[in-house]
Structure 1
Amino acid sequence: MFDYLSVRSTFSLMKVLHSIWKWHPIKVGSISITHVHTLSNEDLKKAEQRLSHATLPKSYINNGSVYVHWPYCRQRCSYCNFVKFIPHPNSYWTVQDNTLEHFMVKELEHSLQHSYITNVKSVYFGGGTPSLARPQMIEKVLETIQAVCSLEGNAEITLEVNPTSFETNKLKDFKSVGVNRVSIGVQALDETSLRLLNRDHSVPEALHCINIAKQLFPGRVSVDLIFGRPNQTTGSLVKELETILSFCDNHISLYQLTLERGTKLFNQHLSGEVKVPSADQMADLYEVAVSLLGDSGFKRYEVSNFAHGCSAESVHNKSYWRGLQYIGIGPGAHSRVVPKNTIEKNNVVYNVYSSKCSEQDKMWSGSRIYEENSFNPTIQLSKNFFSCTIREARVNAADPANWLREVQIKGSGVRKVTAQTVLDIVSEYMASGLRTSEGITAEKWSMFLPQISLFDIFHERTLWLQESKLLCVSKQGLKATSIGLNVLDSILPYLLNILEEKFI
C-alpha cells in the first residue's frame, strides 16, 4: 500500500503508522534523561568518580571538530530564537570584539588540552553573524588548533555569512586567513518575505553575494533557504530555487519555517496577523523542492540538505550526524566530548572504572573485535553496562558576560555538564543519523556497541516497516527509504523504544 506514496500523503501516512502501532505495542515514555550538573570543582571530582571503564577506539577519541559560536547579530530575525544578542552601547552583554576573541582562543586552548582530540577535521564559525567579526579572530582560532594539536591539511573551514554588501566585501579577507567554505543565509528571494523575516539584506545583495562567493570558493558555497513562508506557493518556490541554481549549483540547505514560541513571527501568527501554509501545503512545497533539486543533479544526503556531488557535502555537519566528537566555544555553544579522565592501555582508551559495572561488562567493553555475527545471545550484558558514562554533553553559559566570567575563572565557559552513557550516545546517533541518506552504518555503530549488531537489535522488530518500504535493515546498517525520510518523525520514536526496551 505504500509503494506509490508521495510527500502529499505524509500526514495521512502518519495516522496509518500510529494505528499500526496498536498491533506493535511499544513502551510508553522516552529515553531516560541524565542529571544535569553545574560545573564546579566539587562536581568535577564527582564526575571523575562517575566515569566508567567503557571503551572507545582511538579513531573516535583522537578525531573531532570545532564549532565557534559568535554571539552577535546586527538585528534579530522575526523567526529566530537562537542564542544571539544585539550589541548596544553600555549593555552588560556587549563585549568588545578583541576581548571576545581573546577569551574564545583561551577557551579553545583549554578545551583541546582537556580532551583526547589530536586531529581536527573541520571548523565551523556560526551562531549569530560571525562574518561581522574580524578575520583575525578566525586566524587566531586556526593557529591555536595547530599549536595545541593538529588541523588536518584539507580541513573544512566554514563561515556563516549574511549576504549584506558589507559582509560580501569582507569575503576575500576571510579567505586569506583560511576560510574555504561559506554558508550564505539568503532565506528568501522576494522583498516582502525578507521584510517579514526582518532580514538585513535585499534580493540583489543576496544574488551578488552568491556570485562573489562562487568565484572565491568554487564548489564550496552553500545557500540557506526557508520554505513554508506566509503566502508562499509551489510556483514561487520553484522560481526561487531556479534563480538560486542559476547562480550556485553546489549546496542548498532547505529549512521548513518553524514558529518558535516567543518570537515576533509566532506572536504575529497567534494574533492572526500572519498565516503560514497548512501541513498539507508544507508537504507539497517540500515535494516540489525535492523533485526539482533531484532533477537538477542534487542528492538529498540529509532531510534538509542537498549537494551537487559528494565534494559539496558539509564535512562539519556530517560529523554531527555521525555522532562524532566536537568542541563548542563561545557563548551558548554545545560540545560532545570524551573527557580526559581516562586510562590508556594496549591502544584502547578506558574511562575511569566504575565499581557498579560487572567484571563481565568489563570484559565485553575491553574487546574491540567486531564481526557481523559476533554477538552471542546466550551471553547477557549487565544493564549497568549501559549506564556507564563514556562521553559528556556540555553547554556553555548563554550570554557573553556570564560566559566571559566563566572563562576567566575556570578557563572554560561550560555552565552545565550531562554525563552520556552508551545508550545516550547511540540514541543521539540514531536520531541524527537516520535523517541522512547514509543512515546508521554497522561500522560506526560498532564504535559504540561492538558487542551487538544493528541487525540483531532491529531486524525482527521492524519487519512491518521493511515490508512497508519505509526502512532498510541489513548487515551493513539501518536507514530510512526515500519515503521513510518523509515520515521519519513517526518512525523514530518506535525505533528508540526498541533500543530502550533492549537495554533499560
Structure 2
Amino acid sequence: MPSTLPDGDPVPMDGALPGTALDGLGSRPFAFYVHVPFCVTRCGYCDFNTYTATELGPGASRDSYADTAVAEVRMARRVLGDVDLPVETVFVGGGTPTLLSTDDLGRVLDVIDKEFGLVPGAEVTTEANPESVDEAYVNRLREAGFTRVSYGMQSAREHVLAVLERTHTPGRVPQVVEWTREAGFEHVNLDLIYGTPGETDDDWRASVEAALTAEPDHVSAYALIVEDGTRLAAQVRRGELAAPDDDAMADRYLVADALLSAHGLHWYEISNWAADPRAACRHNLLYWTGADWWGVGPGAHSHVGGTRWWNVKHPAAYAARLAEGASPAHAREVLGEDDRRVERVMLELRLAEGCPMDLLDDKAVRRAIDDGLIEAARYERGRAVLTLRGRLLADAVVRDLV
C-alpha cells in the first residue's frame, strides 16, 4: 500500500532526538502507544494503517510482530537514556490488537514495564472488536496486566453495520462487555459512529440506548468521516451511498449528549463521555494536554518535548529497519513556540476543562461568548470552555481563536 505519511525532516539512523526534546524529559507525563496493524477484513470506511493477510505481503507476519515491537521498546530506552520515565498509560490500538495472542500482548507490556516501569495503578488499554475475543481471552488479558478494554461497537443496527462493513452482530456487544466485567475489568469503553449513510434518527437513538444497556463506564461517539481512498468514499462518489449530512450529524450529537448525560455519563472531551473522572481515558488526556509518548509500530506517531516523528508505514519496512538496528522513523518535525501554542488551543479547547485564557486573544474570546460559543462564567475564572453550541462548531471556533 502506498505511503501517505507526511513529509518531514530526516531522522538519524539511531533515532537520536534533538537536545531541545530531551530538555525537561521526566518532568512531563510519559506514555506508550502500541500500534497493531492487522485486521481480518478491511472495513469500507477505514483509512487506518492496517493490513489483512492478503495485503501484508512478505517480510512481516502477525506471529513475529511482538518481537519487533519489543525491539522498538528497547530502542526507545536507548534513545531516551537513563532518565527515570515511569509510564503512566499504555494504549494498544489498531487494527485489531486482539488478533495477537494475550501472551504476545502481555510480553510487549512486560518489556515496557521492565525497561521503563509502570506507575502504580497505570492505565493499560487495548482496543478490540467484539468478534475478536471470547470469555477465556478477556480473562487472560486481565491476567496479563490490562486494566481497560475499548470495543468497536459502532452501531446496534445490522443494516448500519453492513454499510460500515463491520462483521459483528449487535447482540455480541453486551455479551463481551459482560465477560469483560466478570474478568475484573473496571473500565470498559464502547465506540459509536454516527452519520452512516442509511442511518435514521431512530437507528442512532437505538444504538446509544443499546450501548447504555450494556453499562459501560465510558462511551466515545464520532461523526463518520468519508476518507479519500476508502471503499466508502468510492461508493459516495459513484452515488451508490449518500454523503453524511452535516445537519443530521449535529442532531445526532445532541441526541447522544442528552441520552448519555441522562444516564450519568458526562462529556469531558467533545467526543467522549465518562461516568466519573476515574473512568475518563487517561491515555487520551495525556495526548490532549501535551504529555510525552512513544508510538511503537508501523505508522505510529510519537511526541517528546515538542519533537514529533512517525514511523515507516508498512510492517515489512518497519520490521526490516529494526532488524538492522536502525530507527523505524520515517521523518520528524520540531514544533516552534507558536505551533505548540496553536496545538494546545486546538486540543485543550475540546476538553470540558477548557483552555487557559493566556493562550488566547481576549477580544476573540469575548466575540465567541457573545455568539454563545464560549461559557461566560468560566471565562471569568480564566478558562475558555465551549458551550454545547460551541462543541457543534468547535473547528470554526478554534480557527477564530488561534
Q: TM-score, normalised by structure 1?
A: 0.73
The 3-state SS of whatever aligns with 1:121 is: strand
In structure 2, relative to structure 1, the CA distance for the partners of 1:264 and 1:463 (3 Å cut) is same
Q: Contact (CA 8 Å) 1:107, 1:411: kept in 2 or not?
A: no
Which residue of the partner structure matches residue 407 of structure 1?
A: 322
Question: Which structure is higher in RCO with an 8 Å CA cutoff and minimum separation 6?
Answer: 1
Instruction: After TM superposition, give the deviation of residue 92 of structure 1 in Å.
Output: 2.1
Instruction: After TM superposition, give the deviation of residue 117 of structure 1 in Å.
Output: 5.8
- Please give the alpha-carbon distance, in whole angstroms, between the structure 1 residues aligned to 2:162 and 2:21: 54
Q: Tell me which amino acid in the other structure corresponds to 2:8.
A: V
- Please give the alpha-carbon distance, in whole angstroms, between the structure 2 residues aligned to 1:94 and 1:149: 27
Q: Contact (CA 8 Å) 2:163, 2:196: kept in 1 or not?
A: no
Which residue of the partner structure matches residue 3 of structure 2?
A: none
- Please give the alpha-carbon distance, in whole angstroms, between the structure 2 residues aligned to 1:271 and 1:114: 48
- Alignment partner of 1:268 is 2:174: no
- Please give the alpha-carbon distance, in whole angstroms, between the structure 2 residues aligned to 1:77 and 1:35: 27
1:398 to 284, 308, 313: 313
Q: Tell me which amino acid in the other structure corresponds to 2:396.
A: S
Which residue of the partner structure matches residue 464 of structure 1?
A: 367
Which residue of the partner structure matches residue 434 of structure 1?
A: 349
Instruction: After TM superposition, give the deviation of residue 299 of structure 1 in Å.
Output: 0.5
Which residue of the partner structure matches residue 59 of structure 1?
A: 27
Which residue of the partner structure matches residue 153 of structure 1?
A: 120
1:75 to 41, 46, 67: 41
Q: Which moved more, 1:121-130 or 1:472-481?
A: 472-481
In structure 2, relative to structure 1, the CA distance for the partners of 1:139 and 1:411 (3 Å cut) is farther
- Please give the alpha-carbon distance, in whole angstroms, between the structure 1 residues aligned to 2:188 and 2:336: 37
Instruction: After TM superposition, give the deviation of residue 280 of structure 1 in Å.
Output: 1.3
- Please give the alpha-carbon distance, in whole angstroms, between the structure 1 residues aligned to 2:56 and 2:391: 48
The 3-state SS of whatever aligns with 1:170 is: helix
What's the CA shift string for 1:238-265, capped at 9, x where partnerless? 1221122111241111011111111111
Q: Tell me which amino acid in the other structure corresponds to 1:141.
A: V
Residues paired across the two proteins, number: 392
Q: Tell me which amino acid in the other structure corresponds to 1:308.
A: A
Structure 2 unmatched runs, 5+: 1-5
Which residue of the partner structure matches residue 384 of structure 2?
A: 478
In structure 2, relative to structure 1, the CA distance for the partners of 1:52 and 1:69 (3 Å cut) is closer
- Please give the alpha-carbon distance, in whole angstroms, between the structure 2 residues aligned to 1:257 and 1:114: 38
Instruction: After TM superposition, give the deviation of residue 141 of structure 1 in Å.
Output: 2.1
Which residue of the partner structure matches residue 138 of structure 1?
A: 105
Q: Tell me which amino acid in the other structure corresponds to 1:105.
A: V
Identity rate, percent: 28
Q: Contact (CA 8 Å) 1:182, 1:217: kept in 2 or not?
A: no
Output aligned runs, 1:147-226, within 5 Å.
Answer: 147-164=114-131, 166-167=133-134, 169-226=136-193
Which residue of the partner structure matches residue 305 of structure 1?
A: 272
Larger radius of gyration: 1
- Please give the alpha-carbon distance, in whole angstroms, between the structure 1 residues aligned to 2:21 and 2:209: 54
Structure 1 unmatched runs, 5+: 1-33, 339-390, 443-452, 497-504
- Please give the alpha-carbon distance, in whole angstroms, between the structure 1 residues aligned to 2:276 and 2:47: 32
Q: Tell me which amino acid in the other structure corresponds to 1:64.
A: F
- Please give the alpha-carbon distance, in whole angstroms, between the structure 1 residues aligned to 2:133 and 2:384: 45
- Please give the alpha-carbon distance, in whole angstroms, between the structure 1 residues aligned to 2:125 and 2:20: 35
Output aligned runs, 1:447-462, within 5 Å.
Answer: 453-454=358-359, 457-462=360-365
- Alignment partner of 1:36 is 2:8: yes
Which residue of the partner structure matches residue 78 of structure 2?
A: 113
The 3-state SS of whatever aligns with 1:327 is: strand
The 3-state SS of whatever aligns with 1:213 is: helix
In structure 2, relative to structure 1, the CA distance for the partners of 1:230 and 1:52 (3 Å cut) is closer
Aligned-residue Cα RMSD (Å) equals 2.4
Q: TM-score, normalised by structure 2?
A: 0.90
Which residue of the partner structure matches residue 92 of structure 2?
A: 125
The 3-state SS of whatever aligns with 2:162 is: helix
What's the CA shift string for 1:274-324, capped at 9, x where partnerless? 124422111111111111111111111111111111111101111111111
The 3-state SS of whatever aligns with 1:38 is: coil
Q: Contact (CA 8 Å) 2:21, 2:307: kept in 1 or not?
A: no
Which residue of the partner structure matches residue 425 of structure 1?
A: 340
In structure 2, relative to structure 1, the CA distance for the partners of 1:52 and 1:106 (3 Å cut) is closer
In structure 2, relative to structure 1, the CA distance for the partners of 1:486 and 1:89 (3 Å cut) is closer
In structure 2, relative to structure 1, the CA distance for the partners of 1:117 and 1:198 (3 Å cut) is farther
Q: Tell me which amino acid in the other structure corresponds to 2:329.
A: V
Instruction: After TM superposition, give the deviation of residue 218 of structure 1 in Å.
Output: 4.5
The 3-state SS of whatever aligns with 1:242 is: helix
The 3-state SS of whatever aligns with 1:73 is: coil
